[in-house]
Amino acid sequence: MNTHIHVGTGPGAYDVRVGHGPLRELAGVPAVAAASRVAVLHAPRLRDTAARAAALFAGRGLRPTVIELPDGEQAKTADTAARCWGTLGQNGFTRTDVIVGIGGGATTDLAGFVAATWLRGVPWIAVPTTLLGMVDAAVGGKTGINTGAGKNLVGAFHPPSAVLCDLDALGTLPAADYTAGLAEVVKAGFIRDPTILDLIEADPEGARSPHGPHTRELVERAIRVKAEVVTQDLREQGPREALNYGHTLGHAIEKCEGFTWRHGEAVSVGMVFAAELARLAGLSDDTVVRRHRSVLDAVGLPLRHPGGRWPELLDAMRVDKKARGNTLRFIVLDGIGRTRVLADPGPDRLAAAWARVSG
């Protein structure tokens, strides 16, 4: 049985379907009914799944175009988007035609961005195949690409028409990518749903496996957190900023390390940094910091950066989307399960928090 988790309200609302085999429902997504053409954008390792999706559409009388993207973060570039626009143009894609993104978060971010920009917006369907994609990236309509200046600096809010999460896909995911996805699951636990933390702490080994006893519950709980937040605040006017917990430093690490760190790994260090910052600002205590370190460490996520790049990282943090003018703004915890904004913590506190997570 697939679980349906509802996101949004009104005409733009959609379902996230979680279970075993929801890909079979692809051709039944309402947006497909009006389409004549469908473009299937996929990560290289998802070639077979993309071929199956294309066959499914062809069987319904649609004309499929399959576009293989570069792997992972390399897909999130203006060049890749331009290549996709070229193919859509050659194939006469109109506003009722549909784009499907199959792969991890990088793939669905790019596919969603192409859908947001082609003809100023066409429907798209996300088929996330990583843990991180299912619990976070494919849900909520943030789409985008990186630029030389940093992570996700060009993009659009463009919610999908449906999100299909086939838990069976997680079986082929490399362990390190599965673990990286757990960072966003843990994030959901700290910002809104502490039961997630309890489940992971009770059985960290189980949490590290796609076949663990609580895998499905963890996935669904994290999706529900995301769904509730983005339903409340799609365009990040306030509450949605909570989902950026750990990302201010996390994105800076990704940029400064030339995207050699996995997103989840960088966010893991970013969450410990945010917890240290909150403690130094008197908003939180040692127990909360210790809980960050213990739960992230228990699942094999990094707690530190090797160090030595602080000025560069600080500069990268200044283009964070939560910054306002010269003011850096961080999401910190206001107790477990609640968040608040810490604006302008000051250079000394920032350096002190960095010292606690580097070297």
Ligand X SMILES: NC(=O)c1ccc[n+]([C@@H]2O[C@H](COP(=O)([O-])OP(=O)(O)OC[C@H]3O[C@@H](n4cnc5c(N)ncnc54)[C@H](O)[C@@H]3O)[C@@H](O)[C@H]2O)c1
Among 65, 80, 117, 130, binds ligand X (CB under 6 A): 130
132 binds ligand X (CB under 6 A): yes
User: Residue 158 class from Cβ within 10 Å (0-12 exposed, 13-18 middle, 19+ buried)?
Assistant: buried
Specify the stretch interacting with ligand X by CB under 6 A; choose among 10-18, 257-265, 280-288, 350-358.
Answer: 257-265
What is the closest distance, in whole angstroms, from the C-beta atom of residue 109 to ligand X in the complex?
5
Quick one: 262 or 356, whose CB is closer to ligand X? 262
Distance CA 289, CA 69 (A): 39
Nearby residues of 1 by Cβ (< 8 Å), 6 or more positions away: 19
Token pair in block for residue 58: 């062809």
255 binds ligand LNCXM5UN (CB under 6 A): no
Can 279 be counted among the known catalytic residues?
no
247 binds ligand LNCXM5UN (CB under 6 A): yes
Can 120 be counted among the known catalytic residues?
yes
Token pair in block for residue 279: 């403690």
149 backbone φψ class: left, alpha, beta (φ>0; ψ -120 to 50): alpha
Total binding residues for ligand LNCXM5UN by CB under 6 A? 11
Nearby residues of 346 by Cβ (< 8 Å), 6 or more positions away: none
User: Residue 265 class from Cβ within 10 Å (0-12 exposed, 13-18 middle, 19+ buried)?
Assistant: buried
Can 322 be counted among the known catalytic residues?
no
Which among 154, 153, 91, 150 has a CA at the least distance from the CA of 122?
Answer: 91
270 binds ligand X (CB under 6 A): no
Which among 139, 154, 137 has a CA at the least distance from the CA of 79?
Answer: 154
- In angstroms, the Cα distances linking 353 to 99, 248, 277, 319 are 43, 13, 5, 19
Which among 95, 203, 181, 101 has a CA at the least distance from the CA of 136?
Answer: 181
Token pair in block for residue 219: 């996935």
What is the closest distance, in whole angstroms, from the C-beta atom of residue 350 to ligand LNCXM5UN in the complex?
18
From 42, 142, 192, 262, the catalytic residue: 142
Token pair in block for residue 212: 């663990």
193 binds ligand LNCXM5UN (CB under 6 A): no
What is the closest distance, in whole angstroms, from the C-beta atom of residue 221 to ligand LNCXM5UN in the complex?
15
* Binding site partner of 71, from ligand LNCXM5UN, ligand X, none, Cβ cut-off 5-8 A by kind: ligand X
Quick one: 188 or 277, whose CB is closer to ligand LNCXM5UN? 188
Token pair in block for residue 228: 């509730």
DSSP secondary structure letter of residue 175? H
* Binding site partner of 130, from ligand LNCXM5UN, ligand X, none, Cβ cut-off 5-8 A by kind: ligand X
What is the closest distance, in whole angstroms, from the C-beta atom of residue 169 to ligand X in the complex?
4
Q: Enumerate the known binding-site residues.
A: 71-76, 105-109, 129-130, 142, 151, 184, 247, 263
Nearby residues of 5 by Cβ (< 8 Å), 6 or more positions away: 15, 16, 17, 18, 220, 223, 224, 227
Quick one: 97 or 177, whose CB is closer to ligand X? 177
Beta bridge partners of 153: none
Can 142 be counted among the known catalytic residues?
yes
Quick one: 101 or 345, whose CB is closer to ligand X? 101
DSSP secondary structure letter of residue 238? S
Quick one: 104 or 140, whose CB is closer to ligand LNCXM5UN? 140
* Interactions with ligand LNCXM5UN, residue window 121-180 (CB under 6 A): 136, 140, 142, 152
Among 23, 35, 56, 109, binds ligand X (CB under 6 A): 109
From 158, 184, 208, 241, the catalytic residue: 184
Per the CB < 8 A criterion, the answer to whether 41 and 54 are in contact is no
> Under the rule (CB under 6 A), what is the footprint of ligand X?
43, 45, 71-73, 76, 103-107, 109, 129-130, 132-133, 136-137, 140, 142, 152, 169, 172-173, 177, 180-181, 184, 262-264
**Catalytic site positions:** 120, 142, 184, 226, 236, 240, 244, 247, 251, 263
> Under the rule (CB under 6 A), what is the footprint of ligand LNCXM5UN?
136, 140, 142, 152, 184, 236, 240, 243-244, 247, 321
